[in-house]
Amino acid sequence: MEYPQSFVQKIKGAFGEEGIQWLSHLHQIIEVYEKKWELTILSPVDNLSYNYVLNVKQINGCPAILKIGVPNIDFSNEINTLASYDGNGSVKLLRYEKKDGIMLLEKIIPGNMLFDLSEEEAIEQYATVWSKLPRKVNLSLTTPNISNWFSAIDRYVESDYDFVEYPPKKFVLEAKLHSLDFMNPSNEFLLHGDLHHENILYSDEKGWTVIDPKGVVGHLYLDFTSFMVNHLPKNKDVKQVLNNRINRLSNLLHLDKQKLVEASFVMATLSMCWAIEDNDSYWRKAYYCAQCFKELLIEDC
């Protein structure tokens, strides 16, 4: 079976030899579950990333999505999170098999993404969707804690990067200090972990619906930054746009504005550290957004 070269390269880059082996057996996995779950395979989706995602038809004629990934903790955690959501504000998980890294999901029709809306409409619908998601942590499951994510900040601080090119350690250390304000175990909930415009799709049946959760336990205020820094309107002052999103979400969801700015500063800095580790030029955008949040934090003090 032939796969898009861009998809193959992403898998090899992210998973190395394990990814290469998975690709060599992917067609067999599809064939097994096509028969086992009585599916008709139609076509892959256009925007493949780190999972192979297919449009399929169930035996009852209903469309669905077959998602296959390298079996690992992250894929299992996505399954666990979707099971916890149980279709409340999210896509419905129909069937799954963790050991083979495969899940069958309801197909969201027509599937327009949140960025199709105007800026103000997108903020309002985001707030509505975010408030629908179940937040209770299932203690019987091993869901990663967001504190584990912050090890990337520690690695940056301990690194020997060229700090003429990259942001100074002092900046990252300040974000680490602020992160401590969000590490109270008594105030932790199940977070989506990556809730931005592309992960909220429109369903004729359910309205705006969440897909692709990372699933992580942490403070509620740490769940907004992916949206804050995504699809920033062109030809507008970035700091002003970020401030507007902060203000609107604070008002709509009755959040403490200063703590939301603080959490956004922390998470944008974390994204910057991840991007630098991955040699991804996105780090510059993340750093700029983190600087904006830091300035807003100072202004609000």
- In tens, the pLDDT along 191-244 reads 999 999 999 999 999 999 999 999 999 999 999 999 999 999 888 999 999 999
The arithmetic mean of pLDDT across residues 235-256, rounded, is: 96
pTM for the whole thing? 0.93
Name the domain boundary from 107, 133, 166. Answer: 107
Q: What is the CATH number of the domain that holds 94?
A: 3.30.200.20
- 230 in the same domain as 179: yes
| Own/partner long-range contacts of 137-140 (Cβ < 8 Å, ≥24 apart) | 137/188, 137/189, 137/190, 137/217, 138/80, 138/84, 138/190
Kindly state the percentage of the chain with pLDDT values over 70: 100
The arithmetic mean of pLDDT across residues 9-17, rounded, is: 91
Residue 186's pLDDT band, with cuts at 50, 70 and 90, is: confident
| Host domain of residue 16 | 5-107
Task: Find out whether 104 and 118 touch, Cβ atoms under 8 Å.
Answer: no
- 41 in the same domain as 164: no
- 184 in the same domain as 259: yes
- 52 in the same domain as 116: no
Looking at the DSSP bridge assignments, the partners of residue 52 are 68
- 296 in the same domain as 186: yes
- 157 in the same domain as 97: no
- 155 in the same domain as 91: no
The number of distinct structural domains making up the chain is 2
- 226 in the same domain as 159: yes
The arithmetic mean of pLDDT across residues 235-257, rounded, is: 96
Helix (H) and strand (E) counts in the chain: 10, 10
Q: What is the CATH number of the domain that holds 132?
A: 3.90.1200.10
**DSSP alpha helices (H): ranges in the chain?**
5-36, 73-85, 119-132, 146-149, 151-157, 169-179, 225-228, 238-253, 257-277, 283-300
Which residues have CB under 8 Å from 213's CB, separation 6+? 78, 81, 82, 85, 90, 192, 193, 194, 195, 199
Name the domain boundary from 107, 124, 152. Answer: 107
- 268 in the same domain as 169: yes
- 18 in the same domain as 145: no
**What digits encode the pLDDT tens for the residues 23-34?**
999 999 999 999
Residue 162's pLDDT band, with cuts at 50, 70 and 90, is: confident
- 102 in the same domain as 60: yes
Statement: residue 1 has pLDDT above 80: no
**pLDDT at residue 103 in the model:** 98
**pLDDT at residue 229 in the model:** 98
- 128 in the same domain as 36: no
